[in-house]
Copies of this chain bind each other. A is one copy, B any other.
Amino acid sequence: MSNPDYQKRKAFFDQLLTIYGRKPVLEALQDPAMKIYKLHLADSNKEDGIVRDIKKIALQRNIDVEMHDRKALSRISKNGKQDQGVAADLQLTAYQPSSAISKDLLTSSKRRYIALDRITNPQNMGMIIRSVAASGIDGLILPRRGGAPLSALVIKASAGTLFRAPLFYCEDLGQELARMQTQGAQLCGLSSHATHSVFDTQQDSSSQIYILGNETDGVSKEIEGLCDRMLKIPMHNGVESLNVAVTAALIAFLSV
């Protein structure tokens, strides 16, 4: 049974990101560019300064406020120890399923994406999102599992750009990369052991997906096996590797 309403609702809820903690929620509320679907408060909160401010801004902005008992709020925030009785559902309007990167898109002109294979440090994740948003490349592909979750830490490290960055989520990165490859994209894995430089591929006219691997062990064997080529950033002075967020920025801004 196909149910278009269900699909629509699912797409809407997939765009929601729940953040928690008094300061992160207050900051989100204070940013007029940020779409907020709902504010969640524990009924055990004392009406002190910051909780009062949070409620006031939510009222002014016409945002739904739901009250919960402490336990229910923990289930919403998924972090009862650190939520401080406050959570909010943010709507990431630029957060889409990677299926939106269609064959048409990949073949109609040269597109450029970065895909993350198990980046676990929230600081790195946030910096990568910030650089991708600023660079204007076509998007960042993120598997839902296996990497740093889009948490308050990531939002902070992204300097709030998480809400503007073209983010594409998928369930299984290997599957999605294979699909895009058969639909015209070239897969370029980054590795400090590669022989070819990332700066030498500029003449290529097909769409490119650059894959950055885990901070410790790089691109996984499975995904390296899919790649059309492995590329490195050439390095001097015997330096063996770059920070992954720096690598992402160099690719996003340079390899046009």
Contacts of A241 in B (CB 8 A): 159
Q: How many copies does the complex hold?
A: 2
Are A254's CB and B250's CB within 8 A? yes
Q: Which A residues fall within an 8 A CB radius of B?
A: 33, 123, 127, 130-131, 133-136, 159, 161, 164-166, 233, 235-239, 241-243, 245-246, 249-250, 253-254
Are A161's CB and B239's CB within 8 A? yes
- Chain B nearest CB: distance from A158 CB in Å? 10
| 5 A-B pairs in the complex with CB atoms less than 8 angstroms apart | A33-B238, A134-B239, A134-B242, A161-B237, A164-B239
A161, A236, A249 — most chain B CB neighbours (10 Å)? A249
Contacts of A135 in B (CB 8 A): 235-236
Partner of A246 from the list B127, B165, B236 (CB cut-off 8 Å) is B127
Partner of A253 from the list B133, B159, B166, B233 (CB cut-off 8 Å) is B233
A235, A241, A246 — most chain B CB neighbours (10 Å)? A246
Contacts of A236 in B (CB 8 A): 133-136
A136 to B127, CA, bound (A): 23
Closest to A157 in B: B243
- Chain B nearest CB: distance from A67 CB in Å? 34
A133 to B234, CA, bound (A): 12
Are A130's CB and B243's CB within 8 A? yes
A237 to B161, CA, bound (A): 9
Q: What 10 A-B pairs come out closest when comparing CB atoms?
A: A136-B236, A134-B239, A134-B235, A246-B249, A164-B237, A133-B237, A133-B239, A161-B239, A127-B243, A250-B253
- Chain B nearest CB: distance from A35 CB in Å? 14
A134, A164, A236 — most chain B CB neighbours (10 Å)? A134
Contacts of A134 in B (CB 8 A): 233, 235-237, 239, 242
Contacts of A249 in B (CB 8 A): 242, 246, 249-250
- Chain B nearest CB: distance from A173 CB in Å? 24
Are A131's CB and B237's CB within 8 A? no
- Chain B nearest CB: distance from A36 CB in Å? 18
- Besides the contacts A133-B239, A134-B239, A136-B237, what 20 more A-B pairs have beta carbons closer than 8 Å? A33-B238, A123-B123, A127-B243, A127-B246, A130-B243, A130-B246, A131-B243, A131-B246, A134-B233, A134-B235, A134-B236, A134-B237, A159-B241, A166-B237, A245-B245, A249-B249, A250-B250, A250-B253, A253-B254, A254-B254
